Amino acid sequence: MRLSLPMTSRLRSLTAFAVWGGSVYFAWWLYHSGGTGTYAAVAVAQAKVHRVSPTQLGRLMNLDVKEGQRVAAGQVIARLDTELLQREMSVAQAQMKQAASDVQATGVNLDVNLLQAERAFESEVEAATVELTAARSDAAGDRTELSQLQDDLKREQDLVRRGLTRSDRMLALNQRRAALEEAVNNWPRRVESLQARHQAASSRLVEWRKAHSNGNGARAAQLQPLAEKVKERIESVHLLRAQVHAMVLRASTDSYVSIIHARPGDVLRPGDPIVTLVENQPSEATAYVDERRGTPIPPGTQVVARRRSAPAQQFEAVVTSVAANVDTLPQRLWSNPAIPAWGRAMYVALPPEAALEPGELLDIAMPAPSGPGIAQWIRLPRAQADGTGKPGI
C-alpha cells in the first residue's frame, strides 16, 4: 500500500523535527553535565583600579605622569604646594625648641634650689656642732680653772694665817671662785640646750634627705607639665611632617596611568582624584555563570582557568566569593548582541604566574554542584570552542 504524497511529506517533517529535538536535548545535556561532573564558565581578568587622591586641601603644583605611562610602585605621581605647611612647621619647630629650653632651664633651677636647701640644713647642723663643741670646751676650761683657783685659794689662806701675806688678794680670789662656780653650774643646762638644738638640726637634715631621696622622681613630677608641652610640640612637628610627606603622591603598585583628572594649578579637596591607575597584571577574574546552572559554586572551590588567547596555558585558581544575585552579563559575553544574557558573577583569585592582560577572557572549568573531584577540562560548548570568542552561556 503506497502512502499518499502529503502523508510522506508529513512523516519526513516529523522525522526531521525529532532529530532536531534530540540534537537540542543532547546539546543541552552535554552543556549542563559534560559527562564528567564539571561545567564551564567564561571569565574576564580584572585589574585593580587605584585612584590617586590627596588627603588634605591643596593646590596641585606638579604632575609627573602622562596618560598611558607605566609607573612603578613608589614612583612620584604628583606634588602639591607645601609652602604654607613649611611655614607652619618652622613655627612649630621653634616652639618645640623653646619648650625644650624651658624644661632644661626649669630643671637647672630645681637642681639649684635643692642644693641650696640641702646646704642650708647642713649649715644649720654645722653651726650647732660648732656651738656645742665650743660650749663643751668652755665648760671644761671653767671647771679646770675653778679647780686651780680652789688650790690657789687654799694656799693663799694658809699664807694669810701664817702672816706671810695680806688678805687683799684672797678677796679677789673668792670673787673669781664664786663667778666660776656659777658658770660651771650653768654649763650643763647650756650644753643640754645646744645638744637639743644640734639634734633637731640633724633630724631636719635627715628628714629632708628622706623626703628628697627619690630626687629624680620628684624632679620629674615637677617637670611633668613642661615635658607634656614638649611632647605636644614634637607631635605637632611630626604631624606637619607627615602632612608635607603626604603632599607627594606616589603609585602604590606597578601600574599604568589610565585617566588624568586634574592639572597643575587646580585646587583639590581631600579625596578629589588626580589620576586613575590600573594595575599591570590582574590579580582577580570575574567569572559569569549562566543562571540556568542552578546552585552557585561555594567560595574556596578550586577551579582551572585557561587563556582564550593561548589555550595551551592553564593554571589553578580559587573562588573567593560569589554574587548573591543574578544580573545582566556584560554585553561582550552575550551570545546574541541583541539579546541580553543573565547570570551570576563569581570572583576568582588568580595566581601571580598567570601573567594576564587586563580584560583578557578566560575559560573556567569547575566541579558541578553535585559532581565530585577537582575540576578537569571538559568539551566546551561549540560557541566557546570554535574560536569565535562567543561564550556558550
Pairing relationship of beta strands 314-328 and 342-349 according to DSSP bridges = antiparallel
Backbone angles phi, psi at 311, to 5 degrees: -55, -25
Q: What share of the chain is helix, strand, coil (3-state, %, to 5)?
A: 50, 20, 30
What sign does the CA torsion over 134, 140, 143, 144 have? negative
Give the pLDDT score at 132.
86
Q: pTM of the entire structure?
A: 0.53
Please give the angle made by the CA atoms of 274, 277 and 283, to the nearest 5 degrees: 150
Angstrom distance (rounded) from CA 191 to CA 141: 14
The mean pLDDT of 74-93, rounded to a whole number, is: 91
Residue 133 vs residue 391, higher pLDDT: 133
Q: How much is the mean pLDDT over the chain? A: 80
Residue 246 vs residue 354, higher pLDDT: 246
Grid coordinates representing 58 are 591643596
Angstrom distance (rounded) from CA 32 to CA 202: 103
CB 333 within 8 A of CB 341: yes
Angstrom distance (rounded) from CA 40 to CA 221: 73
pLDDT in tens, 241-266: 998 999 999 998 889 999 999 999 99
Angstrom distance (rounded) from CA 57 to CA 59: 7
Grid coordinates representing 85 are 605647611
Give the pLDDT score at 29.
44
Instruction: Write the CB contacts of 216 (distance below 8 Å, at least 6 apart in sequence).
Output: none
Grid coordinates representing 296 are 552557585
Q: In the chain, which segments carry CATH 1.10.287?
A: 86-239
Grid coordinates representing 330 are 556584560
Give the pLDDT score at 251.
93
28-32, 138-142, 218-222: lowest mean pLDDT where?
28-32
User: In CATH, which superfamily holds the domain spanning 35-48+281-385?
Assistant: Efflux pump adaptor protein, beta barrel domain (2.40.30.170)
CB 64 within 8 A of CB 90: no
Give the pLDDT score at 17.
64
Q: In the chain, which segments carry CATH 2.40.50.100?
A: 51-82+248-277
The mean pLDDT of 266-288, rounded to a whole number, is: 90
The mean pLDDT of 3-22, rounded to a whole number, is: 60
Q: How confident is the model at residue 294 (pLDDT cuts 50, 70, 90)?
A: low
CB 235 within 8 A of CB 24: no
Angstrom distance (rounded) from CA 135 to CA 116: 28
9-18, 32-41, 134-143, 267-276: lowest mean pLDDT where?
32-41
Angstrom distance (rounded) from CA 126 to CA 133: 10
Q: Which CATH class is domain 51-82+248-277?
A: mainly beta
Q: Which of 14-28, 61-75, 169-183, 277-291 has the highest mean pLDDT?
A: 61-75
| Cα-to-chain-centroid distance, residue 259 | 32
Burial, 234: exposed, middle or buried (Cβ in 10 Å; 0-12, 13-18, 19+)? middle
- DSSP SS3 for 255: strand
Q: Is the pLDDT of residue 222 over 90?
A: no
Q: In the chain, which segments carry CATH 2.40.30.170?
A: 35-48+281-385
Half-sphere exposure of 112 (CA within 13 A, CB side): 6
**Residues 86-239, CATH architecture:** Orthogonal Bundle (1.10)
Half-sphere exposure of 110 (CA within 13 A, CB side): 17
41-45, 98-102, 117-121, 222-226: lowest mean pLDDT where?
222-226
